[in-house]
Amino acid sequence: MITPPGLPAGCPPWYSRPAARAWTCAPAPTARVQAFHAGLPGYAPTPLTEVPAIAAELGVGRVLVKDESARLGLPAFKVLGASWAVRQVLTRRPAGSRVVLVTATDGNHGRALARMARLFGQQAHVFVPGGVHPTAVAAIAAEGARVTEITGTYDEAVRLAAEAARAPAAELVQDAGWPGYEEVPGWIVEGYSTLFAEIDAQLAEAGTGEPALVAIPAGVGSLTQACVIHYRGRAGGRAPALLTVEPGTAACVLASLVRGELGTISTSETIMAGLNCGTPSMVAWPYLRDGLDAAVAVADADSAAAARDLAGYGIPAGPCGGASLAGARAALTGEDAEARRAALAVGPAATVVLLCTEGSAANPVPES
């Protein structure tokens, strides 16, 4: 496997722990969350698109791509979490009260929060770190949010957002948690459960059983937490292998797994802006540590190439969306692929699900 640039010293690009498939946890309250999402304006399940050419390339039976390029009118999956969390936050406040919903973002979560604040008649204040594409920043402002751009990292933006949310009538709606701040990120993770419930229904419709492998682009790991809860939170059936994919320049989940403890790494810019995080969510960490089979890091050029390939198959992937395919390629093909395939228990008849978490409208894909 080729080591992408930017990995912390001594951190390999690949980690696996097959015992994770036997780990179980409590299930998610999927039905309540799905009913809420179904009531939002414009809700429809996003497509799960089969791409036989990618299955042939990866040497597996079927590849299906969950295409989040148009989710509730936005170009990424994040609104599933932001909407459910905003609903929960507003439900516990006195009816009719006004609140400023505060967050930090690499782009997609902040835009989703701003959209939901507007839908529910509230205001949003969004902190944006350096390196986020200007069109992504403009898109947040266009939702009616107050935007504060900083020159520092995502972690610094989170700290500033948490500080700003201490003001009266303000509420932090962050998609990562730490000790003392667990409830809201927990709601965001619950919100993501709709995506996996849709996949179940769509795989059943496609006549496919449980997938053998699900590839997940990871930033702070909250989407991965939702994925682990979905597949490890139910009894019976064959548990799929779960693989996170991160940029080499911001592989905080991989680095923490390799070290065996949650840690912070220094990050640098990546076209996979939504994955540019230096510290995994502490709320997600126990699920990542115990329930995740494998983690891989990829280079920007590989996610861009994967996104362009997906576009060629009619899936308008952004750079984070391409990461899953780049990660599956790194894991399932190339030198020593046999050992990695064995660790993931992926054979020639396997069904692989790739989460394409954003469209190119969220973040542009560089030309080759």
Q: Which residues of the shown chain bind ligand PLP in the complex (CB under 6 A)?
A: 76, 78, 106, 108-109, 175, 217-224, 274-275, 320, 357-358
CB 195 within 8 A of CB 77: yes
Taking CB positions, which residue lies at the least distance from ligand PLP?
Answer: 274
224 in helix, strand or coil?
Answer: helix
Closer residue to ligand PLP, CB minimum distance, 36 or 154: 154
At 269, list the tokens. 């810019």
**Nearest to ligand PLP of 310, 350 (CB atom):** 310
Give least dist CB 236 to ligand PLP, A. 27
Nearer to ligand PLP, 100 or 218 (CB): 218
**Residues paired with 146 in a beta bridge:** 125
Q: Which residue has the tokens 């969950």?
A: 66
Would you say 154 or 341 has its CB closer to ligand PLP? 154
To ligand PLP, the closest distance from the beta carbon of 221 in angstroms equals 5
φ/ψ of 345, rounded to 5, equals 55, 45
Which residue type sits at 337? A
Q: Which is nearer to ligand PLP, 221 or 233 (CB)?
A: 221
In this complex, which beta carbon is closest to ligand PLP, that of residue 113 or of residue 220? 220
Choose between 245 and 344: whose C-beta lies nearer to ligand PLP.
245
Tell me the sheet residues that pair with 64: 50, 353
Query: In angstroms, what is the minimal distance from the CB of 323 to ligand PLP?
Result: 7
Q: What is the DSSP string of 274-296?
A: GG--SS--TTTHHHHHHH--EEE
Round to whole Å and give the CA distance between 207 and 189. 28
DSSP result, 17-79: -GGGGG---PPP-HHHHHHHHHTSTT--PPPEEE-HHHHHHHTSSEEEEEE-SSBTTBSBTTH
Instruction: Compute the least distance from the CB of residue 73 to ligand PLP, in Å.
Output: 16
Q: 228 Cβ partners below 8 Å, 6+ apart? A: 25, 242, 287, 288, 291, 292
Nearer CB in complex with ligand PLP: 175/190: 175
Closest contact distance (angstroms) between CB of 144 and ligand PLP is 20
Beta-carbon contacts of 191 under 8 Å, excluding residues fewer than 6 positions away, are 33, 37, 80, 81, 82, 83, 84, 85
Residue 320 CB, nearest approach to ligand PLP (Å): 4
Helix-helix angle 30-38:79-92, to 10 degrees: 100
